[in-house]
Structures are given as structure tokens and as C-alpha cells.
Amino acid sequence: MTQKPKAKKPAKPHKDFPLFAHAAGVWAKKVKGKVYYFGPWDDPQAALKQWNESKDEILQTGLKPGKPSDATTVADVVNHFLTFKQDQVATGQLAERTFHRYQTGCGTLVAYFGRNRPVADLRPTDFADYRRHMSKRWGAVALSNEIQIVRSVFKYAYEVDLLERPVKFGPGFKKPTAKALRLNQSRKGPQHLTALQIRKCLDVAPVNSKAMILLAINGGLGNTDIAELTMAAIDLPTGWMNYPRPKTGTARKIPLWPETIAAIKEVLQHRVAPIDPDDKALVFIGQRGQNYRGNHKGYRVHQETKRVFKKAGIPERSFYDLRRTFETEAEASRDLAAVQAIMGHAPPANDMSARYRQHVHDERLQAVTDHVHAWLFENDNN
């Protein structure tokens, strides 16, 4: 997915300006740990006016004054939605990564329709035009995600009485069909690495990248998993990792290979001091003292390992393909429940076996990673 570069946050108009520039492209104010959103960066005076008109009620009740439904704007809907989602993050109901994804989607929505556009004026043809606009930027999967975000925003607005009636999206604002998603997947081609390709990557990878690659193929860790991995999650003497998946919060217990443990030890030996003291618990710190989160969670992991893939002669591959490869090869162990436990997959609500299963025994987890280890290192034909 191609994204436009992020705009630089503006400075405050003057030192006494009560609002701060929020990453969502608007001025905001934090009151008692809760963030309230106001006007766009390019109109600080309008944002200040909104704050002055709202602050008494916010300070007294914690609620931002509403508007009559027919005057509710796109910005009103987005601001309320993001505030609600931020509350979910604070209470552990929503991953911060997912919140940032909502922020990006809401920013795109506001940029297209305009923050002051009354929601009551939006017609099905407007949403059909918006879908065409998005389809020029994104592929089928990303487009499907964006459409879902838009629908969620307006559904929330109706459910909390910001709108008197549900928004009509019309037939032109539907997600890509299952067929379109399959064709999109086919065009990408295989997203699997051979054992030989992975070994070539390990041969040419620098210290950090080597450990990242081993963690990905040993336990199915993704970009964000790597970027947010803390030393507390790894017990090097026992060779086990206990690390809930950041995306879903699902518990994971992963047995580590000797090669992975050795690579992590080497990372810690060469690890530079982080620039940000808050990063001191992270396993991976770049050579310049930066973490690997970046503006997009885990994107620096992708950047660093992409250079390794190119050097190994497979520039078309990405770091996340290692997670896909682990899943593919691990399933050959024929213990799907153990594979899902290592991957951190959240089971569907109707999976009764998963609901009753209290844990997966260590021996089963070990058997899965042993199987992948044998595939990677013990068969020269892979």
C-alpha cells in the first residue's frame, strides 16, 4: 500500500496557545487523560474558537457539546469516534496499533469530504466517488479495510445519536468481492520463502536483521512483534518466549531454537543505548539509537530486512513473508492448535474447542518449532 508522506506538525501560533498539534491533522486538547479534537492544523483560530466554546462543558462533564443532527459535520463524527476509540485503548479493549489505523482512515475521510461538510448532505453517489478515489491508491485488501473504517465511523455516530438516521452508502460503496480479493492475491504470486532463501538471508544479514529473521521463522513474529519485543518477554536460560501478540493481545508461548537464542545474545552484546529512555526495555535498537517502530508500527523492521532480501537475491520478498512461511511449514506438523497458539491467532467466537482448551502443552509447541527447524536446517533440498 502506497501512503503519502506525513506532513510535519506545525508549531503553536504562540506560547500560550492551549491546544497541541495532533497526528490526526487537527488541534487537540488533553483533559484528565482524555484527548478532545478541534480544528485542522491550517486553521488554529477556528480550533481555538471551538475549544473556548466547548471547554466549560468538557471541564465540568467530560463531554464535548453536541450539535443538532442536521448540523453534524464529518469532523464532528470523526472526532467523537476517535475519542471513543482512544478510551478503548486506555481501558485495554483496543490495541494502540489499531487506533492509529483508525486515525489514518479518519484523516483520509476528512481530507476527501472536508471537515465542515454536513453529514446530512452526503449521498450514495458521494460514497461511490470516494470509493473510486480510494481504489486508485490502494489494492483490494487495503480498500476493503478503508471501507470498513468509514462504515464503522458513521455507524457509531448513529448509535450514539449524533445522527438522526443511518447514513445511506448505496450499492457503490461495498467492499471488494471475495473473487476480487482472490485475484489480487494471485497477482502477488507466492509469498513463501524456501529454506535455501532463508539460509542465504541469514548468511548475509547483520546482527539485528539476523535475529529478526530467526525470530520470524522460529515463531512467526511479524514486524510489529519485533519492533515492540521487550527483554522481559524472553527467558534466555530456558529458551522460551512469553509474548502476547501486540495486535490482538493473544497470549503466545514460543520455544526458541539454539540459533535464535545465540542471535539474540549477539544483539544484546552490540546493542547501543536508546535515544528515548522509554525504549530501554526493547530488544532491538538501531545503530543510531532509534527504536524500530517508526511512524508506522514495525516499518523500520521492513526497511532493514528488505536490504537483506535484496542482498540475498530475493528483492520481491518482505519480512512478513517469513511469518507466512512459518505458518505454512508449521502446519505440516499436523498440530494446528499448537501452530495457532504460537502464531497468536485469536480463535473465532464459535470455536468451542479453543474456548474449552486452557492451554497447549509445551511438548506440542516444541514439536511444531522442531519441525520447522528441521525443514530449515536439515534438508538441503528445500
**pLDDT of res. 214:** 98
> Is residue 168 in some structural domain?
yes
The answer on 342 and 214 residing in a single domain is yes
**What secondary structure letter does DSSP report for 40?**
E
Same domain, 219 and 365: yes
Instruction: Please compute the mean of the pLDDT values over residues 79-86 and round it to a whole number.
Output: 93
Q: Which of 186, 212, 231 is the last residue of a domain?
A: 186
pLDDT digits 0-9 by tens, 129-148:
999 999 988 888 889 999 99
3 falls in which pLDDT band (50, 70, 90)?
A: very low
The pLDDT value recorded for residue 93 is 84
Summarize pLDDT for 255-267 with one digit per residue, the tens. Answer: 999 999 999 999 9
Assess if residue 143 is contained within a domain: yes
Q: Quote the pLDDT of residue 151.
A: 97
Same-domain pairing of 89 and 127: yes
- Clarify whether residues 123 and 223 are in a common domain: no
The span from the first CA to the last CA of the chain, in angstroms, equals 31
Domain that holds residue 141: 66-186
Type of residue at 3: Q
Residue 335 lies in a domain: yes
* DSSP letters for 46-72: HHHHHHHHHHHHHHHHS------GGG-
Residue 16 located in a structural domain: no
Helix (H, G, I), strand (E, B) or coil at 282: strand
Residue 5 has pLDDT above 50, yes or no: no
| pLDDT at position 4 over 70 | no
Distance CA 58, CA 36 (A): 9
Is residue 178, in this structure, part of any structural domain at all?
Answer: yes
pLDDT at 300 (0 to 100): 86
pLDDT digits (tens, 9 = 90+) for 293-302: 865 555 789 8
Q: What is the mean pLDDT of the chain?
A: 87
| DSSP letter (8 states) at residue 93 | S
Q: Are residues 132 and 203 in the same domain?
A: no
**Angstrom distance (rounded) from CA 26 to CA 36:** 10
186, 217, 234 - which closes a domain: 186
Model-wide pTM > 0.75? no
Query: What's the domain count of the chain?
Result: 2
- Do 135 and 71 lie in one domain? The reply is yes
27: in domain: no
Residue 38 confidence (pLDDT): 81
Instruction: Let me know whether 179 and 199 are in one domain.
Output: no
Q: Are 348 and 284 in the same domain? A: yes
Look up the CATH number of the domain holding residue 248.
Answer: 1.10.443.10
199 in the same domain as 182: no
Residues with Cβ < 8 Å from 21, sequence gap 6 or more? 9, 10, 11, 12, 27, 28, 41
Is residue 189 over pLDDT 70? no
Same-domain check for residues 152 and 293: no
* 174 & 280 share domain: no
Q: Hey, what's the cell of 336? A: 494446528
What is the grid cell recorded at 308? Answer: 537483506
Q: Does some domain include residue 154?
A: yes
pLDDT for position 62: 67
Rg (CA), the chain: 24
Q: 151, 186, 221: which is the final residue of a domain?
A: 186
In a domain, 22, yes or no: no
Q: Are residues 166 and 283 in the same domain?
A: no
CATH code for the domain of 86? 1.10.150.130
Res. 66: pLDDT tops 70: no
3-state secondary structure of 304: helix
